[in-house]
Chain A
Amino acid sequence: MSSSAAGLLFIGSLLVALALCYRPLGDYMFRVYTGAGHSRIELMLYRLVGVRPDGEQRWGVYARSVLAFSAVSILFLYGLQRVQNHLFLSLGMKPVEPALAWNTAVSFVTNTNWQAYSGEAAMGHVVQTAGLAVQNFVSAAVGMAVAIALVRGLARGRSGTLGNFWVDLVRGTVRILLPIAFVAALVLVAGGAIQTFGDHFTWATLTGGEQTFTPAAAASQEAIKDLGTNGGGIFNANSAHPFENPTSWTNWVTIFLLLVIATSLPRTFGRMVGDDRQGYAIVSVMAIIAIISIGLTNWAELSASGTVPQAIGQAMEGRESRFGVSNSGMFASATTLTSTGSVNSFHDSYTALGGGMLIFNMLLGEVAPGGVGAGLYGILILAVITVFVAGLMVGRTPEYLGKKIGPREIKLASLYFLVTPVLVLIGTAVAMATAAGRSAMLNTGPHGLSEILYAYTSASNNNGSAFAGVSANTTFHNVTLGLCMIFGRFLPIVLVLALTGSLAGQAPVPASAGTLPTHRPQFVGLLVGVTVILVALTFLPALALGPLAEGLL
């Protein structure tokens, strides 16, 4: 079989597997978030936390709970890194420097998992498993909770409340993420991923060199890192490292994991609003954008355009032999279409247009299918903007799922959309305008700009992957990228919840002859168009100076 035929089968089999999971997993998550009963373990957890699980929250309380939980998480994770030399199982690692510890704490709490450190050189067992991996779970659960709250706001009539954050957090973690991650971890170990709390030891190689074993609970962390669309690898080489992603089939499994929740959540959404067709419409939008993007990236990489790829004959720099070019490109697409940011090949060495597609994926706001939860609320906001645009065309007050999109709603949705461009463009501009910012570039010319643009895009969209040549472990970048991650995560969340509050307070209006149906191909096409055009208009100038200049000149 030729490489490109095998690559197509690889992509096709993933799509089929995800389609098969859409209904069962979506329905399961529907039951998780709408079920009235609490298990005995959960009741014990609520008692330990000190909250009443049946108390409903208004949007302000829900938002403050999210922010309080995240603030405490950042402080805890910062502290853990600063004292890690005093902890047991720390593998002799030193305390992490303050700016780097701040950046890393923010990075993991915001589901970004930007890594300015090298895992095997900086973090011991305790920080990895009880600090970073915990945030892999709970930051994912927070994203899902916010998405579910938004869906409740759309589904409920004049209730004003959106559920209970603590219940959503605990259920998402315990009933969804934990069981899947546990099974996935064992599957990865079966493939060869390591899972040990041992110590470093050294051996002599066949020709008398020296290698040191780097112990880690890699499989358990790899599983949740992908399932929760986090992306923070236990090792610097991330999913390219054979101890994290040892075979071509574990590669398939990790890509599946990082897509499966985000692609199934539209089903949960459809069930909750009482119309499965709405879920199919949303997942179709995600699929259309994703398939086009995956196709373009694969084409760019397989065509190996650019001077060095032409000299090599194949875009193999930064790729592992067992994965090859096509499967590496699929992973790269999946990791940037979601908010994952783990890598099995190094994007800095991608062809200009292939790398540009990866930046574009993130600039789409990661909605196809996006991070767990974050992707769903992102695309629902774009759906709100789309019905508004459609309403302008026909001169009617827009509505979505029976809720009127008035001035307050559209202002909140527009503000949501504006957060990312402001952070990405101002962040990149400030970095390029200052010597401290520019010094991080490894490559020169347009590719250097791409590195910086990629970094601020990745941080502001909570992706976490990088054109990894960028030397981001400087005080300037640790602080500014940290700010981008915080604002890029929590401003949108607050705006989503504010929008949710005003939607939840409305009584639904009955559909009339003038209502735009939001489950038909027409709406799917409109939403794809709005998503792509909004992003293209916003970012084309920046992309033209970076990847487009490099690829087309």
Chain B
Amino acid sequence: MDRMPGWARQHLAALRALLVLTVVTGVLYPAAATGVAQALFHGKADGSLVDKDGKTVGSAIIGQSFTDQEGAPVRSYFQSRPSAAGDGYDLLSTAASNLGPEDVVDTLAVPGAPDEGRQSLLTRVCARSKAVGELEGVSGARPYCTPDGVGAVLKVFPAVGAPVRAVSVNQSCPATPFVTAYQGVGVECGRPGEDYSAGRTVPVRGGVTRVEVPADAVTASGSGLDPHISIAYAELQAPRVARERGLVRAEVEALIRRHTTGRALGFMGEPAVNVLQLNLALDKG
């Protein structure tokens, strides 16, 4: 080895160092960690799986969808948050929506065209709010949302100066625009396929003051696997679940409390209700 040139010696040492450290940190470390973890916390290390009638039905720390084949909510179950992981709660493609705070303009679907358009984050929020409101029998209204559940957003032309034209871009014709006029100019519905990008974007807040559908019910989580919902969302759903199952509302409320995790040590995180465990408890009766 001493007859090798300096640079070659250095790279050989580097390679040997990498291989040695690979054995230490890449083989021994994970093997030892797995050994001890499996011995001490077997169930948790394997994913906190939960059974029903002897069959695995999920993981206590992974959320799932409680919807039927068509994707409609099963009314006797508490519903999870929206999910951006695959078609919903898919462990093989965990993801968030990654849409930004000013993502408010949809691309409307052109009838008959293969492209289905694209919903902005605002429209997704509005549509979910409307759907949850209808399911739970409360108002789904929110600021910046139209009554038909899309983002209340105008494109105003020209971008600078007095408006001569205003379009409610997220309301596909022949929908009735959520306002009739903007600064004296009549508002049109959005025509699919037309490019409105040159206009000025004007989101319209509207007069909604009381929002009844909680924030977590209308937003996708970070992982797409959020096992929890807020206490507010659980309480919103309690009357429906009690009605569907013929239970007294107080019983359902008690189950919600039993499956609520408070803040760790009183100050870490937010209180949250585990949806799968709550639904399993309901099924057990």
Residues of A within 8 A of B (CB): 1, 3, 5-6, 9-10, 13, 45, 48-51, 64-65, 68-69, 71-73, 76, 118, 120-121, 129-131, 133-134, 137-138, 166, 169-170, 173-174, 177-178, 181-182, 185-186, 189-198, 203-209, 211-215, 217, 219-221, 223-224, 235-237, 240-243, 246-249, 251-252, 305-324, 327-328, 343-346, 348-352, 355, 442-447, 450, 467-469, 550
Contact bitstring B15-29, A, C-beta under 8 A = 1, else 0: 111101110111101
- Given contacts A208-B68, A219-B37, A468-B96, list 9 more A-B pairs with CB under 8 A: A6-B266, A69-B14, A69-B17, A214-B91, A307-B203, A327-B268, A349-B100, A349-B101, A446-B102
| Distance (whole angstroms) from the CB of A501 to the closest CB of chain B | 17
B280 / chain A contacts, CB cutoff of 8 Å:
206
Task: Show 10 A/B contacts (Cβ-Cβ < 8 Å), sorted by A.
Answer: A130-B22, A130-B26, A208-B69, A220-B34, A240-B96, A249-B268, A317-B219, A319-B221, A349-B97, A467-B98
Cβ contact of B267, chosen from A9, A138, A348, A450, cutoff 8 A: A9
4 tightest A-B CB contacts, nearest first: A248-B269, A240-B222, A306-B101, A469-B98
B220 contacts the other chain (Cβ, under 8 Å)? yes
Whole-angstrom CA separation of A197 from B33 in the bound complex: 11
B3 contacts the other chain (Cβ, under 8 Å)? no
A314 / chain B contacts, CB cutoff of 8 Å:
215
A313 touches B93 (CB 8 A): no
Whole-angstrom CA separation of A397 from B167 in the bound complex: 66
A134 touches B103 (CB 8 A): no
| Distance (whole angstroms) from the CB of A345 to the closest CB of chain B | 5
B90 contacts the other chain (Cβ, under 8 Å)? yes
Task: Tell which of B26, B65, B85, B122 has the most Cβ of chain A within 10 Å.
Answer: B26
B224 contacts the other chain (Cβ, under 8 Å)? yes
B143 / chain A contacts, CB cutoff of 8 Å:
310-311, 313
B81 touches A469 (CB 8 A): no
Cβ contact of A248, chosen from B7, B226, B268, cutoff 8 A: B268
A185 touches B215 (CB 8 A): no
Closest chain A residue, CB of each to CB of B88: A209
B269 touches A189 (CB 8 A): no
B104 / chain A contacts, CB cutoff of 8 Å:
307-308
Interface size on B, residues (CB 8 A): 110
- Supposing A236-B93, A242-B225, A310-B205 touch, asked if A64 and B33 sit within 8 A by C-beta, the answer is no
B37 touches A138 (CB 8 A): no
| Distance (whole angstroms) from the CB of B250 to the closest CB of chain A | 24
B122 / chain A contacts, CB cutoff of 8 Å:
307-308, 311
B226 touches A320 (CB 8 A): yes
Whole-angstrom CA separation of A129 from B90 in the bound complex: 23
Closest chain B residue, CB of each to CB of A327: B269
B33 touches A49 (CB 8 A): no
B67 contacts the other chain (Cβ, under 8 Å)? yes
- Looking at B45-53, B108-116, B158-166, B238-246, the stretch in contact with chain A turns out to be B45-53
Cβ contact of B222, chosen from A133, A196, A237, A308, cutoff 8 A: A237
B74 contacts the other chain (Cβ, under 8 Å)? yes
B33 touches A182 (CB 8 A): yes
- Looking at B54-62, B131-139, B174-182, B183-191, the stretch in contact with chain A turns out to be B54-62
A133 / chain B contacts, CB cutoff of 8 Å:
25-26, 29-30
A134 touches B228 (CB 8 A): no
Cβ contact of A51, chosen from B13, B67, B272, cutoff 8 A: B13
A192 touches B101 (CB 8 A): no
B18 touches A72 (CB 8 A): yes
A48 touches B20 (CB 8 A): yes
A205 / chain B contacts, CB cutoff of 8 Å:
57-58, 64-66
- Supposing A50-B1, A247-B269, A248-B268 touch, asked if A320 and B222 sit within 8 A by C-beta, the answer is yes
Whole-angstrom CA separation of A352 from B100 in the bound complex: 8
A349 touches B45 (CB 8 A): no
B269 touches A316 (CB 8 A): no
B52 touches A206 (CB 8 A): yes
Closest chain A residue, CB of each to CB of B74: A207
- Supposing A166-B17, A194-B47, A211-B89 touch, asked if A321 and B228 sit within 8 A by C-beta, the answer is yes
| Distance (whole angstroms) from the CB of B89 to the closest CB of chain A | 7
- Supposing A213-B91, A237-B224 touch, asked if A178 and B218 sit within 8 A by C-beta, the answer is no
- Supposing A50-B16, A166-B13, A182-B29 touch, asked if A317 and B1 sit within 8 A by C-beta, the answer is no
| Distance (whole angstroms) from the CB of B281 to the closest CB of chain A | 12
B25 touches A192 (CB 8 A): no
Cβ contact of B30, chosen from A1, A220, A327, A467, cutoff 8 A: A220
Whole-angstrom CA separation of A150 from B44 in the bound complex: 43
B45 touches A189 (CB 8 A): yes
A138 touches B91 (CB 8 A): no
B228 touches A322 (CB 8 A): yes
B64 touches A206 (CB 8 A): yes
A206 touches B98 (CB 8 A): no
| Distance (whole angstroms) from the CB of A208 to the closest CB of chain B | 8
A316 touches B21 (CB 8 A): no
Closest chain A residue, CB of each to CB of B279: A206
A312 touches B93 (CB 8 A): no
B263 / chain A contacts, CB cutoff of 8 Å:
1, 6, 248
B52 touches A195 (CB 8 A): no
- Supposing A317-B219, A349-B96 touch, asked if A49 and B13 sit within 8 A by C-beta, the answer is yes
A467 / chain B contacts, CB cutoff of 8 Å:
98, 100
B47 touches A196 (CB 8 A): yes
B145 contacts the other chain (Cβ, under 8 Å)? yes
Whole-angstrom CA separation of A219 from B34 in the bound complex: 9
B33 touches A219 (CB 8 A): yes
A217 / chain B contacts, CB cutoff of 8 Å:
30, 33-34
B37 / chain A contacts, CB cutoff of 8 Å:
185-186, 189, 195, 219
A170 / chain B contacts, CB cutoff of 8 Å:
17, 21
B40 / chain A contacts, CB cutoff of 8 Å:
186, 189-190
B265 contacts the other chain (Cβ, under 8 Å)? yes
Whole-angstrom CA separation of A209 from B151 in the bound complex: 31
B264 / chain A contacts, CB cutoff of 8 Å:
247-249, 252
B173 contacts the other chain (Cβ, under 8 Å)? no
| Distance (whole angstroms) from the CB of A225 to the closest CB of chain B | 12
B220 touches A178 (CB 8 A): no
Task: Tell which of B18, B52, B59, B142 has the most Cβ of chain A within 10 Å.
Answer: B18
